[in-house]
C-alpha cells in the first residue's frame, strides 16, 4: 500500500494548504487546560516574565498573546489557531521551522473538521475568560498574595504565588534568596500534604500524601525541565511538609485568599434563614 503524502504549500508562510481528504494521525492536544488550569509555561533563556493580573479572570486571548510573544518573539501568528499553538505546546525555535511544524500539526489534528471550523474553534476559545495557574511572578513583585520564606541553612527560599482563585489553586516554587530568580528544585527533598490544624478542614488529609511538581506529574523528566520552570500546585489552606534527608522538616500552611465582601442584594419575595457562616468547635 502506498502512503499518502500531505500537500505542501509553495509559500511556507501561508496557512495550511488544505486537501479534500485528511487522515488524522493523532488527537488534538487539550491546549485550553495547559494554560488555563494548570499551566506549564516555559521561559527559554529566562525571557521576560509575563505581566498578567492575579487572582482574577482575564481574557484567554490576552494570556495567549503574551505567552506566544514571550516564547516566540520573532513569529507572527497567521490566525487564531496559530496563536493557541504558539502559546501552549513545544515548537521549534527558528521561525521558518515553526510555520512548517504548525502546518503539520494542523493537518494531523483536523479530525474531519474543515479549515474554517478549526479557526472558528480557536477563536471561540480565545474569547473565554480564564484564571491562569502557574504563571510565575517577576522577582520583587510586591503583590501581597506572593509570599516568600527563606529555608534555613540554604541559599534558597520557598515562594508561594497565586493561581486560580475560583479553584483555590496556589503555586509553590523555589527561588534564589539573593536574586529572587526562580529555580527548579535545588536539593533532594519531598513535598507532602498532610494532616494538621487548618481553617479549611475539607483540604485536610488524614495521611501524608506526596505532591510532585506539575511538570514531573505530567511525565517530564527532571533533567528536561527548563531552568526556573518547575512549580508545584497546592490549594488554599493546605498543610504542607517539606522533607529533606538529614535536616529538620519544614511545615507551612498555604494562605487562604479572601476577597472583600459587599452587602448581598436580597431578592424580593425570598425568605432568608440566618444560619451561622462558621461555627467554632470546642469548650
The structural domains of the chain, with segments of one domain joined by +, span 31-130, 147-253
Q: Is the dihedral of CA 77, 125, 54, 239 positive or negative?
A: negative
C-beta of residue 31 within 8 angstroms of C-beta of residue 88: yes
Kindly state the cell numbers that stand for 36.
488555563
d(CA 159, CA 231): 10
Q: Which residue has the cell 502546518?
A: 103
C-beta of residue 172 within 8 angstroms of C-beta of residue 165: no
Please check the confidence at residue 216 and state whether its pLDDT lies above 70. yes
Of 163 and 160, the one with more pLDDT: 160
Question: How do residues 72-107 score in pLDDT, each as one tens digit?
Answer: 888 899 999 999 998 887 777 788 888 999 999 898
Kindly state the cell numbers that stand for 66.
503574551
pTM for the full model? 0.66
C-beta of residue 254 within 8 angstroms of C-beta of residue 205: no
Of 126 and 47, the one with more pLDDT: 126
d(CA 230, CA 209): 19
Which helix (H) or strand (E) segment holds residue 171: the answer is strand 169-176
Please check the confidence at residue 45 and state whether its pLDDT lies above 70. no
Q: Which residue has the cell 529572587?
A: 180
Q: pLDDT value at position 154?
A: 93
Return the SS3 of 58: strand
d(CA 149, CA 177): 9
Kindly state the cell numbers that stand for 35.
494554560
Amino acid at each position: 500500500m502506498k502512503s499518502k503524502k500531505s500537500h505542501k504549500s509553495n509559500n511556507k508562510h501561508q496557512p495550511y494548504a488544505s486537501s479534500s481528504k485528511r487522515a488524522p494521525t493523532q488527537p488534538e492536544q487539550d491546549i485550553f487546560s495547559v494554560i488555563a488550569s494548570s499551566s506549564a509555561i516555559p521561559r527559554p533563556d529566562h525571557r521576560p516574565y509575563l505581566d498578567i493580573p492575579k487572582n482574577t479572570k482575564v481574557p484567554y486571548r490576552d494570556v495567549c498573546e503574551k505567552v506566544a510573544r514571550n516564547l516566540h518573539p520573532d513569529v507572527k501568528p497567521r490566525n487564531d489557531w496559530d496563536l493557541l499553538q504558539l502559546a501552549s505546546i513545544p515548537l521549534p525555535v527558528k521561525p521558518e521551522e515553526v510555520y512548517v511544524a504548525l502546518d503539520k500539526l494542523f493537518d494531523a489534528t483536523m479530525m474531519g473538521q474543515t479549515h474554517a471550523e478549526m479557526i472558528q474553534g480557536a477563536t471561540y476559545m480565545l474569547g473565554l475568560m480564564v484564571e491562569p495557574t502557574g504563571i510565575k511572578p517577576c522577582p520583587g513583585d510586591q503583590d501581597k498574595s506572593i509570599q516568600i520564606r527563606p529555608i534555613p541553612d540554604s541559599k534558597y527560599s520557598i515562594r508561594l504565588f497565586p493561581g486560580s482563585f475560583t479553584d483555590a489553586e496556589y503555586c509553590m516554587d523555589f527561588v534564589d534568596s539573593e536574586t529572587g530568580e526562580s529555580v527548579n528544585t535545588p536539593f533532594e527533598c519531598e513535598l507532602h500534604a498532610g494532616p494538621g490544624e487548618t481553617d479549611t478542614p475539607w483540604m485536610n488529609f488524614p495521611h501524608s500524601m506526596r505532591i510532585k511538581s506539575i511538570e514531573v506529574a505530567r511525565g517530564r523528566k527532571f533533567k528536561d525541565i527548563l531552568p526556573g520552570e518547575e512549580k508545584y500546585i497546592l490549594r488554599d489552606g493546605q498543610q504542607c511538609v517539606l522533607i529533606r534527608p538529614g535536616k529538620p522538616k519544614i511545615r507551612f500552611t498555604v494562605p487562604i485568599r479572601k476577597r472583600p465582601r459587599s452587602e448581598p442584594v436580597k431578592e424580593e419575595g425570598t425568605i432568608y434563614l440566618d444560619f451561622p457562616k462558621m461555627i467554632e468547635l470546642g469548650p
